[in-house]
Amino acid sequence: MLITEMLARNFRVYGDETALIEREPSTGKRFSITWKEFYHQSNQLANSLDAYGIKKGDRVVILMMNCIEWLPIYFGILRAGAIAVPLNFRFQADDIKRCIQLSGANAIIFGEEFVGRINESKSVLDQTVHTYLFSGALMEKPAFAAWYPDVLTGHSIDEPDVALDLLDGAGIYFTSGTTGHPKGVFLQHRHLEFSCYVENRHHNQVHGDNFLCIPPLYHTGAKMHWFGNLIVGAKSVILKGVSPKAILEAVSEEQATIVWLLVPWAHDILVAIENNEINLNDYNLDQWRLMHIGAQPVPPSLIQKWTQIFPNHQYDTNYGLTEATGPGCVHLGVENYYKVGAVGVPGFDWECRIMDESMNPAAMGSPGELLVKGPGVMKEYYKNPEATAQTIRNGWLFTGDIARMDADGFIWLIDRKKDIIISGGENIFPNEIENFLMTNNKILDAGVIGVSDTRLGEIVAAVISLKPGIKMSEEEIIQFCEALPRYKRPRIVFLGEVPRNPTGKIEKPKLRQRYAGI
């Protein structure tokens, strides 16, 4: 079933029930829409896009912060038969220009935060873009754009007469760019349908559930986790704020049952509780049944602390990548908490392999590249056949992640292939050292990189962010690391910020440039 058909069914069955809620803690504002309003807004946008000359297969960019309009806009683009191109809201003008040129976008729907960046590249964008729709509300509308609410007015709330098929193009999602320029991942409607079933199978959403959505909606992770609610017509909360207080207030006041956190946010909640900045007795959290984490390796020490404080929570972690339609090709499973630290087993309808450098199956417990195969594997990198051929071979997606498999068949993520440090001929996996550093109660965040060394080739350097109000010297950190094997110990320690992207992944290129000058 197309996800646009799932929305239409929710309108028919649950029309007057709440579909989406937006909370903005900084202003205290709260908005909500029903499934009927969601469905009608999407159809109005689809019909207005048709009036602007957007036809089936055309590409429409979404460049917006999380808000209650985001998902109706996304569905409106799909219902028009167009291909949605969500862009990272951290992209600067050059990245925006590059992605729009690659996609050949015909229209852009953008928020007020992006006016300057679009203006900076508009002469180039105009080569393909003929329609600009402005969704902002707090500033004057740019002269070159139509205002999104006005565009909806006067257009039919009925579905447009555009036939859709599961093999039609649905989205071009750009990779995070943590290892180079973003590449366009081309997904079809069948990929989006499959992700609904995967997410619901893994986390068992029912109509009474309420998903608290915090990560950016342009990313496959947030949206594909929300798909587990879409398929059962369950409501969701879009939270525009990531402070511990804002998260717990939203869970309490909206009675959220499922929360997907990134590692930094979970850390912040634990630190706030530890520092008595948060009193859990002030919140109604009894209905909160599942906390799950994805998008990056999860330090086992974090989950052990979490379950001590929230002993009644189910916990799950999901491994995924944009090229596999987001999360779920590997998942731990709520029943496998005893394996915390592993990313899990192959997800619903997925297969996994771990291969050594000679492309033979890696021995049990030995590191190798993780390969995945299933209905969620992307169609291609858009207009990049060379990269597609390198990444998809005989139906297997080469993830670029190094993992190992234990005797029970559980997969343990070790690190990115490109991030391995080679010191004196030894392969060192930064994530192992980062996990060790995170066991120190004074450390808030840690990132590990290799620094050039004349004798050893590379040596280990650690960038450490300390918890608020905590003091710890570089020498103390090096002494703490004496518990590691000698060749894995950081030789250099920097005290500073660990840069992460909006989905929580450490931005290793920025880390290297900032602290190692490479």
Topology at the third CATH level for domain 3-197: Rossmann fold (3.40.50)
CA–CA dist 70, 268 (Å, integer): 27
- Give, to the nearest 10 degrees, the angle between helix 70-79 and helix 35-51: 50
**Which parts of the chain sit beneath pLDDT 50?**
178-179
Domain residue ranges in the chain: 3-197, 289-413, 420-516
The pLDDT, as a whole number, for residue 179 is 46
108-141 burial, b at 16+ Cβ within 10 Å, e below that, comes to: bbbbbebbebbeebbeebeeebebbbbbbeeeee
Burial of 396 (0-12, 13-18, 19+ CB in 10 A): middle
The pLDDT, as a whole number, for residue 424 is 66
The pLDDT, as a whole number, for residue 139 is 67
For 243-297, the pLDDT digits (tens) are 999 999 999 999 999 999 988 789 889 999 999 999 999 999 999 999 998 766 6
Q: Report yes or no: 458 and 492 within 8 Å, Cβ to Cβ.
A: no
The pLDDT, as a whole number, for residue 177 is 52
Burial of 394 (0-12, 13-18, 19+ CB in 10 A): exposed
The pLDDT, as a whole number, for residue 182 is 79
Could you tell me the CATH superfamily of domain 289-413?
Answer: Luciferase; Domain 3 (2.30.38.10)
Q: Report yes or no: 428 and 420 within 8 Å, Cβ to Cβ.
A: yes
User: Top-level CATH class of 420-516?
Assistant: alpha beta
At CA 214, angle to CA 375 and CA 399, rounded to 5? 35
The pLDDT, as a whole number, for residue 180 is 54
- Find residue 62's DSSP bridge partners: 86, 109
Query: Which of 231, 323, 342, 187 minimizes the C-alpha distance to 6?
Result: 231
The pLDDT, as a whole number, for residue 417 is 67
CA–CA dist 132, 322 (Å, integer): 27
Tell me the pairing of strands 146-147 and 235-239. unpaired
The reported pTM is 0.84
The pLDDT, as a whole number, for residue 176 is 62
CA–CA dist 171, 233 (Å, integer): 22
Q: Report yes or no: 267 and 234 within 8 Å, Cβ to Cβ.
A: no
